[in-house]
Amino acid sequence: MNPQQAKNILYAILPQEVDSSCVITLWNGDKLRFGTGSPDFSIWIKTPKIFEELLVEPSLALGEGYINGDIEIEGNLGQAMEWFYQNAAEEKLSPFQKARVCWLHLKKRATIKQTKKDVQSHYDKGNEFYRLWLDEGMNYSCAFFTREDEELEQAQLNKIHRSLKKLFLKPGQKILDIGCGWGSLVIEAAKRYGVKAVGLTLSERQYELGNRRVKEAGLSEEVEIRLQDYREMDESEYKSFDRIISIGMFEHVGKENITVFFERCSRLLKDKGIFLLHTIGRTKPKDMDVWITKYIFPGTYLPALGELVETAEDTGFDFVDLENLRRHYDLTLGNWAKRFEQHAKIIKNLYDERFVRMWRLYLYGCQMAFRYNPLFVFQLLFTLGRRNDLPLVREELYAEA
């Protein structure tokens, strides 16, 4: 790859007339300017191998180039990511690339053993790490903001209670939280709504801290957090839960297990019970970003809305309501990225510079993906079998919790 070939690639994927300005410097010192005026940020590509890899797998080439230090960005990384999302031509995979991605998905099926391995690789980084940049309740999913400048702690509580309100909980009922994280939702459910709660996680770190928090809250009789996969629940618990909720876990289920998940929920939930599913998703099926699945979320799959609704209906659920929290996740990721930067030196001491660059790219990249790409956060409400006694007026469902 010579400098002129590299320039041709850049000019092919990036328009020269853009609103903001950027300078890209190649390994030989050649500079390319996009936009006019003083540059808002600059990019230094240190090696030609980036362009060779770019032709094979663009996302992986750029992501690995940044975390390995072969690409340097001077200026705000978030602004640079936004610039690329606004201006870069949409990635087009060749038939060979599509076949390769499909083969990788088939090769790595989401068995219980594999799912545990994937989940633990991400969530068992250490509670100290997540405590640095999540809210006080350590909620690692999309918050709900009543205004853009609302504190993250309050926005996460908003999300918890907005979600629980949709379940129409009554004291004494029993709920199941699939993917309970560090336990904030099950604790709030027991404390505020007087229900019994079971939470499931596959992360040993979440399990340990979650149980400690339950004990400290004096809720050991009301709340149980288990280190267990939803597929491992015993038949004796079938039809024992009045409500099921799952927030930010479904992305780990895997495409081949969507039906398995809904079938298992239908067995665990009582007839006419209510089920809330909160998940990142799309409107159309699409392969996962290769860099994300390799470095951040191995084994993940973002479902299409139709896949969810159709599978739910096929397994006995009735579709009640849908809410899209896309803009709220943009704000959530922005808060996480800001807190991450505030503690970047500590995180570097816990891990290393490469780890910091990897997670920085993940947080800023995801924020811009939700701002500009067709990615959404769905909250879907179902009942097991049709019910005609839920509120007639939708405002009752979304009234302040």
Q: If you average pLDDT over residues 128-145, what whole number do you get?
A: 96
Same domain, 248 and 321: yes
Q: In this prediction, what percent of the chain has a pLDDT beyond 70?
A: 89
Indicate the residue type of 95: P
Q: Is pLDDT above 70 for 103?
A: no
88 and 14 Cβ atoms separated by less than 8 Å: yes
Q: Is pLDDT above 50 for 68?
A: yes
Indicate the residue type of 151: E
DSSP code string of 109-136: ---HHHHHHHHHHHHTT-HHHHHHHS-T
Q: Let me know if residue 100 belongs to a domain.
A: no
Same domain, 132 and 216: yes
Same domain, 264 and 319: yes
Q: How many domains does the chain have?
A: 2
Q: What is the CATH number of the domain that holds 165?
A: 3.40.50.150
> How does residue 116 score in pLDDT terms, banded at 50, 70 and 90?
low
Same domain, 225 and 343: yes
Same domain, 64 and 120: no
Indicate the residue type of 246: S
Q: Let me know if residue 105 belongs to a domain.
A: no
Residue 248: closest CA among 119, 100, 145: 119
Q: Let me know if residue 102 belongs to a domain.
A: no
pLDDT of residue 119: 57
Residue 366 is among the residues annotated as catalytic for this protein: yes
Same domain, 83 and 116: no
Q: What region does 21 belong to: left with phi over 0, alpha with psi -120 to 50, or beta?
A: beta
Same domain, 68 and 146: no
> What's the domain range around 77?
3-87
Residue 276: strand pairing partners: 245, 381
- Angle, helix 152-165 to helix 326-342, in steps of 10 degrees: 150
Q: Which of 22, 142, 180, 366 is catalytic?
A: 366
Q: What is the pTM of this model?
A: 0.84
Q: Is pLDDT above 80 for 107?
A: no
Across 8-17, 251-260, 289-298, 341-350, least confident range: 8-17
Distances (CA, A) of 383 to 10, 239, 252, 276, 318: 51, 13, 23, 9, 5
Q: Is pLDDT above 70 for 70?
A: yes
Give the CA radius of gyration of the chain.
23
- Over residues 270-324, the pLDDT tens digits come to 999 999 999 999 999 988 888 888 888 888 899 999 999 999 999 999 999 999 9
Q: Is 28 exposed, middle or buried (0-12, 13-18, 19+ CB in 10 A)?
A: exposed
- Over residues 198-221, the pLDDT tens digits come to 999 999 999 999 999 999 999 999
- Over residues 227-284, the pLDDT tens digits come to 999 999 999 999 999 999 999 999 999 999 999 999 999 999 999 999 999 999 999 9
Cβ-Cβ contacts under 8 Å for 46 (sequence gap 6 or more)? 27, 69, 70, 71, 72
Pick the more confident residue, 378 or 1: 378
Structure tokens at 144: 């709900």
Q: Is 95 exposed, middle or buried (0-12, 13-18, 19+ CB in 10 A)?
A: exposed
Same domain, 119 and 243: yes
Same domain, 215 and 291: yes
pLDDT of residue 95: 43
Same domain, 55 and 174: no
Q: What is the CATH number of the domain that holds 57?
A: 3.30.1050.10
pLDDT of residue 92: 41
Pick the more confident residue, 65 or 396: 65
> How does residue 7 score in pLDDT terms, banded at 50, 70 and 90?
confident
Residue 301: closest CA among 120, 177, 118: 118
pLDDT of residue 256: 93
Average confidence score pLDDT of the chain: 88
DSSP code string of 22-49: EEEE-TTS-EEEESSSS-SEEEEE--TH
Pick the more confident residue, 174 or 122: 174
Same domain, 236 and 360: yes
